[in-house]
Structure 1
């Protein structure tokens, strides 16, 4: 099929920053794109050929949108999978497949999938409702501390809480959830695996993620991870095993824990471009966004190795500020060595909302990390 400067239409469900960065590459290749999102202010709106306002969880909206395109992909997991399943049966190519999304959308199903496929993951208990947890603790079926996770609709640190005492259960939504053993770990790692329709597979180097202690969001991504080669090899092996189990097409970001004993445990996965791969735009031979296109269009996969060491800093809304966004001191960081800011185009900021990211590239990874700290201290995402 001719994708370039042709009548071919690629559909993207979700109009956020991940889709916008995919669109950098569809414009580069002159591939027609249609995007659907629930907000008229979606960042993708300015860069696609056609924009549709629609509810991603609504069956009819997703189905009717999907019927207009040749290949349909996502930039967020929370979409109506029943509509995707119908579209698949009617001949529309959907990547990732509805079957994959159905498992990944629900953290309890996702964890059971790992158990069924002998993929190492932290021990957990599954509950139909959060209200059942207290009884399980009282009867000895569950021990403190643990990590509470909502089974569905958790995103960007939402739907996750460390429970150290009974009091920490107060205020939790009464929903399907899991209680996961709190694992002491050295590092949080991630590997992005790309697989095209023909089954060719490539993985990106292991990255190390540093999280904001309050927001539970990634604050820095460091590539390559500062770990022993043996641990990196083990992490890549686990990520490839997860990819094989899902038989996915597109990108699969596999988030993992490196334990104190250097074991690798899978935390969760995302079947799309991911925050842990933003630095690939400047630091890699092929960005994760271009690689996603290559994968779902069954084109040859690009090189995944890095040209240079990279550190990514997330730009999130500062606490205490809500309203029309202002990027304070952005000119200052642009004067720093190897620094490239990416602004997502969201007009309204609020505390911890992802508004952009900054990539720092340097042949010396430690120097890149130092500059990243300087960037973080310098730029402020505030409101007017």
Structure 2
């Protein structure tokens, strides 16, 4: 049964982070991810497709809703209903193709029925220098299955079973030809459109907030440089010693998204405590006019002392305020009054010894409850893989037939046979 859904999702997430990475350039990217599972369950559709531009989720389709829906306003406002109807038709066809492909692979790997996963990811990049990149990959059970090289128009198979698909697709000829045309033309054209539609969001600049910290253990000082809240995604964080980049000694984490659409990243390095003044963190980002340098400045010993004094002062003030309130109440008692709770929960006063008047008014009802906060666990297979496109796969296409159709902005997925 392979890695199952967890492994498959890991492959997809790795692909998403990997293909969008790199701080050397600032490319715009268009990605489509398809995922199909053989054993769906509530909240886990049998087929999901999502599209991304520069890491932003732009559209979504799944086998439960049977509709392609926009996920960002700038995309929704620039596309008419005919476009969304066309995408829905395309992805319903892709859904059928993936069901066929899953059965084919299950039989080829001699697997029993159960949970199996097929993924497809493809897309293109437009780099700052005007050059383009494109890729097309399939994964099965969370592992690589077959990948397309658009420059040579050939496929690389991960194992003997994938070799069967490789031979048939390359013998057919049209599979590689049409995917190459899609990646170099249609995909790039749509990427340019998306960047134009979402320019205010996609080409904005938000400066990173950088924090350098240090922690010493076992006579080793670990310096950490963290950048938060920056956009766009590409960023370079390096540690320097006496002005020289320490590439081999630096450990880096992936650049990952925040909930507000920005990103965060980090880099650490282990040094000798006595050498800490020799190290600086250098951050390069599109929002910065030039690379910025940051050093670790340990907190002064006075800070805990000042903080302690501040807490003590607040405590004294609170005690004095409480004493003043107590004295005020005592003063009222001395004047012949006491405090009694009103029927509505408020505090009322009456002369000491007087008979309380019964309150015949209706007691205040509780106001309406606060809004129900429903936690929606939205199961997002971001990066569902497979761009299978329009192939009405109600039945397997015969080898002599052209397996590919040409949808508007999505590539084509042939039947695996």
User: Under TM normalisation by the shorter chain, which class is it?
Assistant: under 0.3
TM-score by length of 1: 0.23
Higher relative contact order (CA 8 A, sep 6+): 2
TM-score by length of 2: 0.22
Q: Of the two, which has the highest radius of gyration?
A: 2
